[in-house]
Amino acid sequence: MAIKVAINGYGTIGKRVADAVDAQNDMEIVGVTKTRPAFGCDLAVRKNYPIYCTYDDAEKISAFAESGYECHGGLSDLLAVADIVVDCSPGKVGAANKAKYEAAGIKWIFQGGEKHAMTERSYTSSANHMENVNVNGTRVVSCNTTGLSRTLVPLYNHCGQLKVECTMIRRAADPGDSNKGPINAIKPVLQVPSHHGPDVMTVKPEIEINSMAVAVPTTLMHCHSIVATLPEGHGLTTNSVIEMWKNSPRIIVMNGAQTGISTTAEVMEFARDIGRKWGDLHEIFVWEDGVKLDGNTLYYFQAIHQESDVIPENVDAIRALMGTESDWKASVAKTDAAISRYNNL
Ligand code: NAD
């Protein structure tokens, strides 16, 4: 029987998770929530996803019908027909929502805007799928942490030890945001280290990692500049690291000079050309000609499509929590095959 999935918060991440879930043959969307009858409701109607109100308030629920949308009830009604809820609300409202999920007796998944301390468990597919099998709730870590985990976990698995310093060059806002910035400044995050690197240790505590971050006026992607110290006797070369990543799930390695994909603008154009919905790129993009292993020091750059790298991870996390697939690679293969049948041109 298909796993019944609710999406609480049908915004940037929520609408993408809904479609990725809808593409799978072992799960179905039983409803999505909107706070009010705004334009995102039209998308839910087109997709045939039942709309529920974020609140149980009768007046707020009836506002949907007044705007011409069928609303099936409040959040409690949705939780009553679901096996698991993927919370895609804006960061920091999680604690109040978690209490509702626990009261409803269903499993829950939060996103990276929430703190590990609130969820007490975090998730990325490659780092700790098995530890999340059959648990009641988890947090899919942020887009940056997911990106770091994708390339660092295979390296750690090979080396058995890893020390990392990295700088996150962060997009200022998502393309659909009109109230964030900077629009003409470079803004260092004046909290050192930034939370991004240490957040990797919530899914892979064995990786020693620190980060700094700076926000720049772009909406397309984040870019990471990474320096990793490998242990003596690592046995790797620049080429074997590149091969390792090419053989790891959800990493694309391309040569910038040869392909002409030398900035995040071309990476995003490439994603649009291959027909990904919303122009998304679920994979982490590594520039082959930006990778250099010098002795024990590995240098590389990677680009992260902030709105989408976490999407397939949410699907794998659902399988982990519901206990239907304990092998992370099997889940990843299933998730990605279903998404690609649904997605590509
Ligand atoms: P968003 O603002 O685009 O969407 C959030 C949605 O939740 C909106 O539709 C909003 O109306 C709704 N909402 C508001 N209050 C709510 C509540 N109390 N309960 C339920 N829903 C509520 O935000 P987003 O970018 O989709 O971010 C969602 C989560 O995903 C955050 O934790 C964020 O940190 C994380 N995340 C975002 C990105 C990104 O680039 N946008 C990447 C990775 C992770």
Tell me the best of 7, 12, 78, 119 to mutate to test the pocket of ligand 1, counting ligand atoms within 8 Å of each CB and taking the most: 12
Question: Active site residue: 53, 71, 143, 223, which one?
Answer: 143
Question: What is residue 92's predicted lDDT score, i.e. its pLDDT?
Answer: 80
Measured from the CB, is residue 54 less than 6 Å from ligand 1? Answer: yes
Q: Which of 54, 46, 45 is nearest to 73 (CA)?
A: 54
Average pLDDT, the chain: 97
- Number of residues written out for the chain: 345
Do residues 299 and 226 lie in contact, with contact meaning Cβ atoms separated by under 8 Å? yes
- Give pTM, 2 decimals: 0.97
Measured from the CB, is residue 10 less than 6 Å from ligand 1? Answer: yes
Share of the chain above pLDDT 90, in %: 97
Tell me the best of 86, 89, 306 to mutate to test the pocket of ligand 1, counting ligand atoms within 8 Å of each CB and taking the most: 89
CATH of residue 322: 3.40.50.720
Measured from the CB, is residue 91 less than 6 Å from ligand 1? Answer: yes
Instruction: Mention every residue, 6+ apart, whose C-beta is less than 8 A from residue 53.
Output: 33, 34, 35, 60, 61, 64, 71, 73, 74, 75
Clarify whether 143 is annotated catalytic: yes
Q: Whose CA is nearest to atom 27 of ligand 1?
A: 90
Dist. CA 103–CA 136, nearest whole Å: 12
317 and 298 in one domain?
no
**For 168-197, what is the mean pLDDT?**
95
**N-term to C-term CA, the chain:** 30
Position 345 pLDDT exceeds 60: no
Class of residue 147 by CB neighbours under 10 A (exposed 0-12, middle 13-18, buried 19+): buried
314 and 300 in one domain?
no
Token output for 41: 């409701």
Q: Whose CA is nearest to atom 12 of ligand 1?
A: 9
280 and 171 in one domain?
yes
Lookup result for tokens 């990474």: 226
The Cα-based distances of 140 to 38, 87, 128, 280, 309 in angstroms read 27, 10, 11, 18, 11
Dist. CA 164–CA 226, nearest whole Å: 7
* Position with higher pLDDT, 92 vs 232: 232
Question: What is residue 47's predicted lDDT score, i.e. its pLDDT?
Answer: 96
232 and 314 in one domain?
no
Point out the ligand 1 atom lying closest to the alpha carbon of residue 14: 26
Q: How confident is the model at residue 30 (pLDDT cuts 50, 70, 90)?
A: very high
291 and 326 in one domain?
no
Domain count, the chain: 2
Question: What is residue 148's predicted lDDT score, i.e. its pLDDT?
Answer: 98
Question: What is residue 344's predicted lDDT score, i.e. its pLDDT?
Answer: 55
CATH of residue 243: 3.30.360.10
Question: What is residue 90's predicted lDDT score, i.e. its pLDDT?
Answer: 94
Label each residue of the chain as H, E or C: CCEEEEEECCCHHHHHHHHHHHCCCCEEEEEEEECCCCCHHHHHHHHCCCEEECCCCHHHHHHHHHCCCCECCCHHHHHHCCCEEEECCCCCCHHHHHHHHHHHCCEEEECCCCCHHHHCCCECHHHHCHHHCCCCEEEECCHHHHHHHHHHHHHHHHHCCCEEEEEEEEECCCCCCCCCCCCCCCEECCCCCCCHHHHHCCCCCCCEEEEEEEEECCCCCEEEEEEEECCCCCCCCHHHHHHHHHCCCCEEEECHHHHCCCCHHHHHHHHHHCCCHHHCCCCEEEEHHHCEEECCEEEEEEEECCCCCCHHHHHHHHHHHHCCCCCHHHHHHHHHHHHHHHHCC
Dist. CA 47–CA 71, nearest whole Å: 15
Lookup result for tokens 């994708």: 150
148 and 56 in one domain?
no
285 and 200 in one domain?
yes
Question: What is residue 266's predicted lDDT score, i.e. its pLDDT?
Answer: 98
Question: What is residue 25's predicted lDDT score, i.e. its pLDDT?
Answer: 97
44 and 181 in one domain?
no
285 and 159 in one domain?
yes
259 and 177 in one domain?
yes
Can you give the residue range of the structural domain that contains 89? 3-141+310-343
161 and 54 in one domain?
no
Do residues 18 and 41 lie in contact, with contact meaning Cβ atoms separated by under 8 Å? no
Q: How confident is the model at residue 73 (pLDDT cuts 50, 70, 90)?
A: very high
Measured from the CB, is residue 13 less than 6 Å from ligand 1? Answer: yes
Share of the chain above pLDDT 70, in %: 99
Question: What is residue 11's predicted lDDT score, i.e. its pLDDT?
Answer: 97
- Summarize pLDDT for 226-277 with one digit per residue, the tens: 999 999 999 999 999 999 999 999 999 999 999 999 999 999 999 999 999 9
Dist. CA 222–CA 302, nearest whole Å: 8
111 and 183 in one domain?
no
